[in-house]
């Protein structure tokens, strides 16, 4: 659920960095007294400069997550959902046609694959739409926070996993929807283009 591979997390634990699995946790190191003392003793940064640097880095992180969340929601809502609905509609029309021509029993049997795909698309569409709604709700709440560290941590802990979940369902839709209808190049097309 944190967006990192198991290998990365194992390596981080091995190096004693298991608490540093996202940017806000890594930036929190700036708040430690020993870090302040080290930088101060070496005449590199004073406490105010360290705090300012951390705040700038947090704002940068927050801004990037806000943009990613907006783009994720926009692409899903305005491109991927409509493409999946269009393909699902084609499958529904095909299923209805088979039932009309072959009769109810034989038509349903002949359209069993289409019906399974229709059900899968419906499940993924529901998950994408509810994920977008949850993400927007979380973002509205988080954007009201004044403390940049709290805001950044909430983005890392709640919005990033929601974006990952939306992406997982969109990836499944990508595999189900006809290539001609899908609005973007599919991953396999990108990977194996010569």
Along the chain (194 residues), what's the average pLDDT of each consecutive run of 10 residues?
57 58 86 87 91 94 96 96 98 96 94 96 98 96 94 95 96 95 86 70
Q: Are the beta carbons of 53 and 31 closer than 8 angstroms?
A: no
Burial class (CB in 10 A: 0-12, 13-18, 19+), 141: exposed
pLDDT at 193: 65
CA 15 to chain centre: 28
pLDDT score at 103: 95
Place of tokens 């659920």: 1
Rounded to an integer, what is the distance from CA 179 to the centroid of its chain?
Answer: 22
φ/ψ region of 43 (left if φ > 0, alpha if ψ in -120 to 50, else beta) reads left
Please report the pLDDT score of residue 21 as a whole number.
75
Q: Residue 15: its pLDDT value, please?
A: 57
- Looking at residue 1, its pLDDT comes to 44
> Which of 130, 138, 3 is CA-nearest to residue 77?
130
CA atoms lying within 13 Å on the CB side of residue 155: 26
């Amino acid at each position: 659920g944190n967006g990192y591979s198991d290998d990365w997390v194992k390596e981080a634990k091995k190096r004693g960095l298991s608490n540093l699995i996202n940017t806000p946790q890594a930036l929190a190191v700036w708040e430690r007294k020993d870090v302040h003392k080290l930088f101060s003793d070496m005449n590199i940064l004073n406490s105010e400069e360290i705090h300012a640097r951390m705040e700038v880095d947090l704002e940068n992180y927050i801004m990037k997550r806000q943009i990613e969340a907006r783009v994720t929601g926009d692409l899903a809502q305005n491109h991927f959902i409509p493409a999946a609905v269009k393909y699902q509609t084609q499958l529904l029309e095909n299923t209805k046609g088979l039932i009309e021509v072959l009769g109810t029993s034989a038509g349903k049997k002949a359209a069993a694959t289409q019906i399974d795909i229709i059900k899968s698309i419906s499940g993924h569409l529901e998950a994408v739409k509810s994920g977008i709604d949850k993400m927007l709700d979380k973002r509205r709440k988080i954007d009201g926070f004044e403390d940049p560290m709290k805001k950044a941590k909430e983005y890392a802990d709640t919005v990033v996993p929601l974006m990952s979940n939306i992406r997982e369902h969109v990836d499944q839709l990508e595999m189900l929807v006809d290539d001609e209808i899908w609005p973007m190049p599919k991953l396999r097309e990108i990977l194996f283009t010569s």
